[in-house]
C-alpha cells in the first residue's frame, strides 16, 4: 500500500505543470470571451469600441489556443513531471511522441480508407496540430506523456557502443520514444474506439445516479485531498469523455472543463453544460463560504490568550481559500488534530456539489473555486447563463452550517485545534526559536528529509512539496515544522510536506541547494 501511495503521488504530481498553465489561460479567455461576447456588448454598449474589442478578441484567442491544444500540453507536462532529471529532454521526447502517434493513426486511417472527409466528430475523428486523427483528447496526451516519462527514466543514461556513442544518453530518449509512439499509435487505432465506448458508458452510469452520484463525487474528491490524489480523480471528469461530450461549432468537445471553455467562446451559447454544475460549481460554496465558517469556529473556540495569534492564522488561511480556492492551509490546521472534522467537511462538500447540481449553478473554473474565478466565470457571464446568484444564499447557509457544526464538535470532543493546545509543564518547556527561513531553509529541509543521499525526487504541486525518498523512516517531521510546514504526510517512499502557495519557491531553493 505504501509503495502504491508513492507511485500514485508521483503520477498525480505530474499533472500539476499542465494544470498550472490553466489559470492564466482561463483569465485571458474569461475576460476576453466575456467582454467580446455579442450579448455582453448588447447589454453594455460602452464596450462597443474598436480598440477595446480588438484587445478583448486578442485576449480571448490567446486563452482559447491553450485550451484547444491541451492534449499536447498534457503530453509534455506529464513527461516533465515524471522525469527525475534532464526534464527538458523528456518534454521534447513527449512532443515528438505525440506527433508521431497521431501521424501513425492518420496513416492507418488512410490505408484502411477510414479517413473521414466531413463531419469528423460523428466518427470520432478530429484535427490535432494539423493532423487528422482519432479524437483521443487529453487522455491521448496523458498516455504519451506517461510513455515518454517512463522511457526517459529508463534510457536517459544508456551507454551505446562507441561508434553509436553520439546517440547515447539523453539523445536516445526522443529516438526510442518515436518508435514507441509508432507502436502506441497502432494500438490506439484499434483500442481507442473501444475505450471511448467504455468511457461514455461509465459517464452514462454517473449521470444516471443523478444527485446522489454528484454527492459521492464531491465527497470522494475531498477525502482524497489529504493524500494529494484528488488530481487523479477529478481530471478524467474535467478533461475526458467521462465528464461528458458536446458538439460545439462543428467540433466534438470532451470533458466538462473543455466544454465550458469552448462554450465560453461560442456566441451561440445560451446555457452552460450541465456537467459544470456537477463537477465544478459546488467548490465555490465550500471554498468561499463554508471553510470561512470553519475558520471562524476555530478562532472562537481558541483559548482567550491565544485568540490574537489564532485570529491572524485563520484570517490568512480563510482569505487564501476565499480568493484563490486553495484550501490546504486551512484544512491542515484541523486535519491531523481532529480527523472527524475533516470527514464532516467532506460530507458538507459533497452536499455542496449536490446543491449546485440541483440549482443548475454552472460556474466553470480554471483551477479552483475561489472569488476570482467566481467573478470571471460566474458574475461576468451573467445570471441567465450561470445562475451564480444562488451561490450567495446557499453560501451564507453553508457558512453558519460549518460554524455551528465545527463549534459544537470542537467543544464536545475537546479537539485540540489551533489555540486550544494544552500548556506544557514548566520542566518540559523550551525556549522557542524563530522558524528557519531565508538561506538556511533549503538546507534545513534537506536535512529533515534525511539528507541528500535519501532524496530520489523533489517536486511540488500547488501547495505541497512532493518528495520520493529511499527511506521514509528518516523523515524528521518536527524539523520540517520548524521550516514553516503546516503538515507532513509520509507513506513509505512518498512524502508530502504542506507549505502553501509559496511551495514552488521552496522547491526551487532546494534544487539550487542540491546542485551546490
Q: Which of 138, 288, 461, 506 is catalytic?
A: 461
437-449 as b/e: b if 16+ CB within 10 A: eeeebbbbbbebb
CA angle 150, 155, 157 (to 5 degrees): 130
Give the 3-state secondary structure of 98-129. Answer: HHHHHHHHHHHHHHCCCCCCCCHHHHCEEEEC
Q: What does the block give as the cell for 346? A: 467532506
Which candidate, 100, 291, 90, 123, places its Cα nearest to that of 180? Answer: 100
Specify the residue for cell string 450561470. Answer: 386
Whether 461 sits among the annotated catalytic residues: the reply is: yes
Residue 254, sorted as left (phi over 0), alpha (psi -120 to 50) or beta, turns out to be beta
CA 43 – CA 40 distance, rounded (Å): 5
End-to-end CA distance of the chain: 35
Beta bridge partners of 491: 494
* Nearby residues of 149 by Cβ (< 8 Å), 6 or more positions away: 14, 78, 79, 80, 81, 82, 83, 90, 94
Q: How many beta carbons lie within 10 A of that of residue 407, not counting itself?
A: 17
Active site residues per annotation:
461
Amino acid at each position: 500500500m505504501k509503495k502504491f501511495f508513492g507511485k500514485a503521488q508521483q503520477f498525480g504530481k505530474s499533472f500539476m505543470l499542465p494544470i498550472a498553465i490553466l489559470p492564466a489561460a482561463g483569465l485571458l479567455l474569461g475576460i476576453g470571451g466575456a467582454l467580446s461576447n455579442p450579448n455582453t456588448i448588447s447589454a453594455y454598449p460602452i464596450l462597443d469600441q474598436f480598440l477595446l474589442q480588438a484587445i478583448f478578441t486578442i485576449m480571448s484567442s490567446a486563452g482559447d489556443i491553450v485550451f484547444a491544444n491541451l492534449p499536447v500540453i498534457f503530453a509534455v507536462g506529464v513527461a516533465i513531471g515524471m522525469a527525475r532529471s534532464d526534464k527538458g529532454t523528456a518534454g521534447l521526447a513527449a512532443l515528438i511522441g505525440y506527433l508521431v502517434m497521431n501521424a501513425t493513426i492518420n496513416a492507418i486511417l488512410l490505408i484502411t480508407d477510414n479517413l473521414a472527409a466531413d463531419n469528423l466528430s460523428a466518427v470520432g475523428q478530429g484535427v490535432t496540430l494539423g493532423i487528422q486523427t482519432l479524437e483521443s483528447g487529453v487522455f491521448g496526451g496523458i498516455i504519451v506523456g506517461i510513455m515518454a516519462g517512463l522511457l526517459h527514466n529508463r534510457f536517459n543514461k544508456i551507454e551505446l557502443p562507441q561508434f553509436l556513442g553520439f546517440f547515447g544518453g539523453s539523445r536516445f530518449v526522443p529516438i526510442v520514444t518515436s518508435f514507441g509512439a509508432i507502436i502506441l499509435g497502432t494500438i490506439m487505432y484499434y483500442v481507442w474506439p473501444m475505450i471511448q465506448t467504455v468511457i461514455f458508458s461509465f459517464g452514462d452510469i454517473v449521470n444516471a445516479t443523478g444527485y446522489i452520484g454528484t454527492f459521492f463525487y464531491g465527497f470522494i474528491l475531498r477525502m482524497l485531498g489529504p493524500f494529494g490524489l484528488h488530481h487523479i480523480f477529478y481530471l478524467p471528469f474535467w478533461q475526458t469523455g467521462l465528464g461528458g461530450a458536446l458538439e460545439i461549432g462543428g467540433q466534438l468537445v470532451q470533458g466538462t472543463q473543455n466544454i465550458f471553455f469552448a462554450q465560453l467562446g461560442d456566441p451561440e451559447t445560451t446555457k452552460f453544460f450541465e456537467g459544470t454544475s456537477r463537477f465544478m460549481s459546488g467548490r465555490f460554496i465550500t471554498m468561499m463560504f463554508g471553510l470561512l465558517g470553519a475558520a471562524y469556529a476555530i478562532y472562537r473556540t481558541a483559548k482567550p490568550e491565544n485568540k490574537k495569534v489564532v485570529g491572524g492564522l485563520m484570517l490568512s488561511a480563510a482569505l487564501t481559500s476565499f480568493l484563490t480556492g486553495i484550501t490546504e492551509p486551512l484544512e491542515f490546521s484541523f486535519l491531523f488534530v481532529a480527523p472527524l472534522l475533516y470527514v464532516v467537511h467532506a460530507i458538507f462538500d459533497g452536499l455542496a456539489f449536490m446543491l449546485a447540481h440541483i440549482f443548475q449553478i454552472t460556474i466553470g473554473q480554471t483551477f479552483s473555486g475561489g472569488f476570482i474565478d467566481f467573478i470571471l466565470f460566474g458574475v461576468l457571464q451573467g445570471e441567465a447563463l450561470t445562475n451564480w446568484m444562488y451561490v450567495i444564499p446557499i453560501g451564507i447557509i453553508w457558512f453558519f452550517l460549518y460554524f455551528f457544526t465545527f463549534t459544537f464538535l470542537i467543544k464536545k470532543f475537546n479537539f485540540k485545534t489551533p489555540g486550544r493546545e494544552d500548556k506544557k509543564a514548566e520542566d518540559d518547556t523550551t525556549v522557542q526559536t524563530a522558524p528557519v527561513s531565508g538561506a538556511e531553509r533549503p538546507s534545513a529541509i534537506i536535512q529533515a528529509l534525511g539528507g541528500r543521499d535519501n532524496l530520489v525526487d523533489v517536486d511540488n504541486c500547488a501547495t505541497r512539496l512532493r518528495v520520493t525518498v529511499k527511506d521514509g523512516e528518516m523523515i524528521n517531521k518536527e524539523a520540517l515544522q520548524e521550516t514553516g510546514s503546516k503538515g507532513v504526510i509520509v507513506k513509505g517512499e512518498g512524502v508530502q510536506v504542506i507549505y502553501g502557495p509559496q511551495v514552488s519557491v521552496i522547491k526551487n531553493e532546494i534544487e539550487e541547494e542540491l546542485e551546490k
